[in-house]
A and B are shown apart, each in its own frame.
Chain A
Amino acid sequence: MKTEPTNEPRFAALIAGALLPGLGHVVAGERLRGLLVGVGVLGLFFGGMLVGGIDTVDSKDNRVWFFGQALVGPTAFGVDWVHQNKYKAYDKNQVMGASTKTELASLRKRSANPNERFEDVTVSTNQGTVRVRVFAPAPAGQAAPPNRTSVGKVNELGTLFSTIAGMLNLIALIDAGFPGRPKKQVKRKVGLQTGHADAEAGLGTPTTVDDPHKGGLPGAAT
């Protein structure tokens, strides 16, 4: 099913597209287009994680990049939540030096070093004791960091992949929510057929032929 071009914003498509890449087009009746958008955007996002690991999505240490990644939607926030809560912890030395809960709350979690492992410690503050998870040096042969920290080009590229995914999802959202904008039409025969964009620019008459509402092959006789 295809929808007629309209200048009215499609709010359901906008919301759906913000929830899951490609879902906006699916809700608007363009299933295949939505599937392709989903493959492209989520492929880039998870491709970035495949290349650079979970460290590539980090709202605390990579905040500016996360602004772009957040455009992928709840998927990015979910991955970031898992990263912050399952793969990062406080530095043991910093935690032991904290004397108030406020001071403790202001500390930053970090990724593990290769020779560390998780440890649960109890910190005494002037407002009572708090149990927190920290990274502490492990005895020889017992190091068990939750993940290998990604560094260098691999981290840069992974971060770039997932940020581009967010940017592209923004384009997809606009496309799904505001369908009135003309799409690119392929010129089949130079000099004979032009697209609407050319016509609008005063470059020719819009005689192009792809009628998306007929579902036929472009250029086919109707």
Chain B
Amino acid sequence: MMGLLGYVPFIDPLDVHQYWYLLLIPVALLVSIAYKACRVESLSDFPREVAVMTVQIVVVMILLGFASFLFVEKVLPMIAG
């Protein structure tokens, strides 16, 4: 927890180097809020649409990460070896 002393929000970076991947959730949520605010015709659909899009982004990113892992750790060694 180095550096929390004297930490100034928005000026100094957060010390989340070990948990950076969890930031996927707020970024997915905020992207969904801004995008769906423009995209849905009736705002009564807004909460559901935002929730669905947030989950879609998070799940697809996890799947893409897993696919990248398989490619780098399994497929590439097979090709090279």
Contacts and interface: CB of A to CB of B under 8 A. Distances in A.
Interface of A: 25, 32-33, 36-37, 39-41, 43-44, 46-47, 49-55, 87, 146-148, 150-155, 157-158, 160-161, 164-165, 168-169, 171-172, 175, 182-186, 210, 212, 217-218
A22 to B, nearest CB: 8
A185 B33 CA distance: 17
Nearest to B34: A40
A169 B41 CA distance: 18
Size class of the B contact interface (CB-based, 8 Å): 20 to 34
Given A40-B30, A51-B16, A53-B13, A210 B43 contact: no
Nearest to A155: B13
Contacts of B35: 40, 168, 171
Contacts of B17: 152-154
B37 A36 contact: yes
Given A53-B13, A183-B41, 15 more contacts: A33-B37, A40-B35, A46-B10, A47-B26, A50-B14, A147-B8, A148-B12, A150-B13, A152-B17, A154-B15, A154-B17, A158-B13, A168-B31, A168-B35, A184-B39
A172 B14 contact: no
Interface string B1-41: 00100001111111111001001001100111111111111
Interface stretch (B44-52, B62-70, B73-81): B44-52
Contacts of B37: 25, 33, 36-37, 40, 172
